Amino acid sequence: MIKPLNKFIAAFVLLIASSQAPTPAFSIETVRGTTSFDADWRFLQSDAPGAEQPAFADATWRLLNVPHDWSIEGPFDASNPTRGAGGFLPAGVGWYRKSFNLPTASQRRRVFIDFDGVMANSQVWINGFLLGKRPYGYVSFRYELTGHLNFGAQSNVLAVSADNSMQPASRWYTGAGIYRHVRLVTTDPIHLEHWGTFVSTPQATNEKALVHVQSRIVNQSGAPRRVTLQVALLDSTDKVVGTQQTQAQTIPAGQAVDFQQDISLANPQLWDIAHPSLYRAVARVRDGNITLDDEIVPFGIREFHFEATTGFWLNGRNLKIKGVCLHHDASSFGAAVPLRAWERRLESLKKLGVNAIRTAHNPPAPEFLDLCDRMGFLVMDELFDTWTVAKNPADYHLYFREWANIDARDTVMRDRNHPSIILYSAGNEIRDTPNTELARGILTSLVATFHENDPTRPVTQALFRPNASHDYDNGFADILDVVGQNYREKEILAAYAQKPTRKIIGTENGHDRAAWLMLRDNPAYAGQFLWTGIDYLGESRQWPVVGSNSGLLDRTGAPRPLAFQRQSWWSETPMVDMVRRVAPSRPTPTDPGYETGPNVATRRPQVLMGDWTPSDLTPHQENVEVYSNCQNVELFLNGQSLGAKPRPADDSARNWMVPFAPGVLRAVATDGGPAVATQELRTAGPPARLLLLSDRSQLTPAWDDVSYVTASVVDANGVLIPGATDLITFNITGPGTIAGVDNGDNSSHEPFQATQRHAYQGSCIATLKANAGAGTITLTASAPGLEPVSLTIKATPAKAT
């Protein structure tokens, strides 16, 4: 697919015998110092000239922990400069300052600061010295602090400015501030380079795997040093399954050397979407019996490739990539998203049959990729939404020529050990393509950067109207390893027919059945990524809408009725779901259920209702639409059969015209035998009380842990009132806080950081965090005229990492 890596700086290959026997004495304690730097920052939401200086007075600044997105705190305002693209949320300059002390022993070590992401145009100072700037808010970066530090009793001040005041700068909500994690890293002067260990699996079968480990060691001391590199491979139980150590070699002062090793494993556990087995490589720089530096790199053993005629293959199995596009925000958390929030969302998407994620249109947080590794999702790791031609006046096109290859290099080096990643994307709907020579030059350079830093993965791009810019005729598309196109499925299939050696994939596709059938019925079409998997803030065309309703899930994580149709096409687990299909009315942005279509240029009203409580309770006809992947579905109303229908060959829905009567509508799905899936809809009575449901029974004080509590307005029998809009107030006691509230209504301007929220289509959510590792958290929900309700969650200590 791609030529093997053949170029290294001072590279050498020194192989010795590999030990396959377990080595219980092997220790995984690390000598490298890695400390979370998330806590106790001072923050000011405005510009502060001179704030980079250590003596600057910041005592009145707000004390907080990062990750932190200050923009999500609002308020929503039609006059905010982000406009609809940024969800009408604020922009500007934010300053962060953190004071810290270092022990005198650190004087003999190298000291670094790692930022996973700062939005945007960040500048970082240590004790008044400017370390550097990074305009792109989605990339991770490191600065070395050595030579600018104080030790012992004298403190240090790290200052960060983030400036997104130039607007509009994006087509969707970006967030603002230090919205990802920060770490302080200390190493020996002889150490592994940042992101310098690359683990790949050139051979991966059920019987045998060959694990290739490449590590770059840097000598930042003042003299040559003679070192070895020891690598141990650990399985998921921390059992050592392979070790290897090179012969000692000398690294000159101020230089770096690449070490390469191949370790064979018998009967490996392969990483797969159904069984995402993970290993860890422990790399140690050794001087005799002394470990100078080390790092632990998770990886997976798997083989994948794309074939022109049959699409995507994983571990010898041909499968369709059933993907969704995701932006990086998450409801009330904005861009600073706890990992549990993503885990909950991905769990819901997996139930719908989704097996892949496109990180639209930027590199994600590194822990998001860790999560995809653990959960068994395939990932398209996308880099850019613009090159040199703007989509907004202040977007990345201003920085592309200077920074694009640097940002691509850093992202690939950061992400290349993730088994979930199967594709890199060089861009989305790039507007440079009508200028053929310009675009070809840029893409050739980017693809070379991808391949130089990771030769094991193909590169694609989300082409936009390629027939208009002649991408299939002028050679541009064929620079890509896998040709991607947004929408227009017939065009990409025609491009494959024109040149059957092309490997093709849908990089962005609509929810309609015609698009799905193109994928289902064409073996060469490797997969599709729906726009989108989850609703997101921004990309609104007009006030008062502040977000996009294109997701299978709404912002709160609740599945839309349309999601179950997708589940009937993509999931292999027997399922059945039903909705009422109502006649569309002319929509306005403030209508309940106002939705976007496959792209934001079109709008449509909600026509699918997942309830048996229409506004008209008198006798009339209801069009009941049933989604199921089972062979037969029988419908019952109040116990009386309305007939059974087989599964259509074209995957269309099964519809019944049902004379409405209050009661119970029940669907029973079978596959030639007893029922394998059922669903019921019940008519709601008058509102009577509130119902609380939590996704967690325990909660730790870790930043990445959160519990979602759904509050619903129900009747006396617990049936949801689908039109309820009651104002629900939350009260919390015990070692916990209410981190945010939401209801999924993309026209609501209520603040996220609050203790009350109106219900939308009957429900709203509160997200809870623990602030201690023991005790009982009690959440109470109340609303005028309804019986209040409480639930409890146990606070437990955070697990050591």
Reported for 557-564, long-range contacts at CB under 8 A and 24+ positions apart, including other chains, are: 557/331, 557/344, 557/345, 557/348, 557/708, 557/765, 558/710, 558/744, 558/763, 559/348, 559/352, 560/608, 561/608, 561/609, 561/610, 562/511, 562/608, 563/352, 564/352, 564/627
**508 assigned to active site:** yes
Cβ atoms within 10 Å of 556's Cβ, excluding its own:
23
Among residues 343, 382, 429, 622, which one is catalytic? 429
543 to 175, 335, 716: CA distances (angstroms): 19, 21, 38
Nearest residue to 69 (alpha-carbon basis) of 296, 336, 464: 336
Ramachandran angles phi, psi of 549, nearest 5°: -100, 40
Q: Work out the end-to-end distance of the chain between its first and last CA atoms, rounded to an integer number of angstroms.
A: 38
CA 117/CA 136 separation, integer angstroms: 9
Full DSSP string of 645-672 = EEPPTT-PPEEEEEE--SSEEEEEEESS
Assign 799 to helix, strand or coil.
Answer: coil
3-state helix, strand, coil in the chain (%, to 5): 15, 40, 45
**Cβ atoms of residues 282 and 244 within 8 Å:** no
The pair of structure tokens assigned to 213 is: 């480990």
CA 562/CA 564 separation, integer angstroms: 5
Q: What angle do CA 199, 405, 184 make, to 5 degrees?
A: 60
522 to 311, 391, 423, 489: CA distances (angstroms): 9, 34, 20, 11
Label residues 18-53 b or e (16+ Cβ within 10 Å = b): beeeeeeeeeeeeebeeeebbeebbbbbeebeebbe
Burial label, 467 (beta-carbon count in 10 A; 0-12, 13-18, 19+): middle
Assign 442 to helix, strand or coil.
Answer: helix
**Cβ atoms of residues 595 and 603 within 8 Å:** yes
CA 114/CA 194 separation, integer angstroms: 10
Nearest residue to 688 (alpha-carbon basis) of 663, 665, 720, 664: 720
The conformation of residue 480, written as its DSSP 8-state character, comes to: S
Cβ atoms within 10 Å of 299's Cβ, excluding its own:
23
Among residues 52, 489, 508, 595, which one is catalytic? 508
**429 assigned to active site:** yes
> Do the strands 763-770 and 736-742 form a parallel or antiparallel pair, or are they unpaired?
antiparallel
269 to 160, 559, 677, 781: CA distances (angstroms): 44, 33, 33, 47
CA 788/CA 24 separation, integer angstroms: 56
Residues classed as catalytic: 429, 508
